[in-house]
Amino acid sequence: MKRNDVALVGRPNVGKSTLFNRLVGSREAIIEDTPGVTRDRIYGTVKFENHIFHLIDTGGIEITKGSFNEEIKGQAEIAIDEADVVLFVVDGKEGLTTSDYSVRDILLKSGKKIIVVINKSDSKLFKDNQYDFYNLGFDNYACISAEQNRGIYELLEMTTKDFKESKEEYDENTIKFSIIGRPNVGKSSMVNAILNEERVIVSDVAGTTRDAVDTPFTYHGKDFVVIDTAGMRKRGKIYENVEKYSLLRSLKAIDRSDVCVIVINAEEGIIEHDKHIAGYAIEAGKAVILAVNKWDLIEDKDKMMKHFIKDIRNQFQFIPYAPIVFLSALTRKRIHTLMPQITKVNENAHREIKTSALNNVITDAYALNLPPTYKNKRLKIYFSNQVNTCPPTFNISVNSKGLVHFSYKRYLENKIRENFDFEGTPIVIQFKSKGEQ
């Protein structure tokens, strides 16, 4: 589904992150905090009445060179490029600064819908500054307090006023998968190998493809769309030093996908950014496959395959269920192993388990390994059922969810996986205390 993009712009300490968290809200954690898996929330999904849109916090997009003002300007220009609506956040308590005017000058030329969001308007000092903000020269103003949740509904009304109703881009039976990974691991080459035709530019220069490219195709009678995200790092002055810009494009592709193929360069091995990208895919609840590319360059393949599998399982401990494929996009060797895996993990992400079968597994698991007591109380499990797919989500009714230890949650997940095929997909387990909806 094509969704509108809304960006938060403004200098530091005006409350962009607070507003971002207020609009996006809390989320069910799919994976615990894992060392080496950084998942900064610079991108989220907002649901308001009949609208769903993407929210980008440009404050999380680090620009490493230039003056303080230049960094803010760079973030504003990224927002203009990406967004349909820009929320220009200013500080109602402190008033306007030269940095605010620098951003104003860029936004006035953008041609985009700009809403000046005057945060901290609950402050007594706001009364002294309130009329100054109208000198910025924009048409739309919203007075809010992100911290106190004031004016948020009105801001959302103003933001979504001109949004058109979102429609599905493809038939619901079409499997959408993205090829994601850091620059220059061979993503475009992999797309070409899958399609067996030159539909995207392939180059040794990282960041050749400017934007994500959708290519629909048919494989064994099934409809697919491959989303090539090789253009994550946009070329040009603004983006040269913006590492997280590539991540922003990656997050958009992840959001639109059913399955994410995370590409690892066999020559270079695993680096931290590979894990970061995988972490975002899992946080989004997407089915994943780890594809080790450039396998044609590896000597003694049998020995190295065992080594790679061991290293991947060690480095990607948070996704032990992800299948691993080894291939060469350049020579097309073993490329035939990828599409069947994409089909399989997509089926697993859509898998629905009968309530009776699930309860049998959970009951047996509980009897086999009773949870420890805490303050003379023991966790009791009453009933389990599946409430969603993509990712498969399970509700487990208990006497008190405060008695659930993360290790016991992991134990139950392992038991579910032992009994039902959820290879490639994260699963969510939600504990509900008795009487809780």
DSSP assigned state of 380: -
Are 147 and 135 within 8 A, CB to CB? no
pLDDT value of residue 348: 98
For 255-279, the DSSP string reads: HH-SEEEEEEETTT---HHHHHHHH
Beta strands in 321-372 (DSSP E): 324-326
Residues whose CB falls within 8 Å of the CB of residue 316, separated by 6 or more in sequence, listed in order = 270, 275, 278, 290, 322
pLDDT per residue as tens digits for the range 221-262: 888 989 876 544 444 444 444 455 566 777 788 888 999 999
CB 30 within 8 A of CB 428: yes
CA dist 84 → 110, 234, 236 (Å): 11, 19, 21
Q: Mapping DSSP to helix (H, G, I), strand (E, B) and coil, where does residue 294 land? A: coil
**Tens-digit pLDDT profile for residues 360-383:** 999 999 999 998 888 889 999 999
* Residue 184 token pair: 């220059």
| Alpha carbon distance 87, 111 (integer Å) | 14
3-state secondary structure of 61: coil
Task: Output the pLDDT for position 202.
Answer: 40
The pLDDT, as a whole number, for residue 34 is 54
pLDDT in tens, 92-113: 988 898 888 888 888 888 888 9
pLDDT < 50 stretches in the chain: 36, 38-39, 198-211, 231-242
Do 259 and 349 meet the contact criterion of CB atoms below 8 Å apart?
yes
Query: For residues 289 and 278, what is the distance between their CA atoms, to the nearest angstrom?
Result: 9
Q: How many residues can be counted in the chain?
A: 437
Which amino acid appears at position 51 of this protein?
Answer: H
Check: CB of residue 242 under 8 Å from CB of residue 63.
Answer: yes
237 exposure class (CB count in 10 Å sphere: 0-12, 13-18, 19+): exposed
Q: Are 8 and 119 in contact (CB under 8 A)?
A: no
Q: Are 333 and 326 in contact (CB under 8 A)?
A: no
pTM of the model: 0.78
Cα–Cα distance, 38 to 320 (Å, whole number)? 18
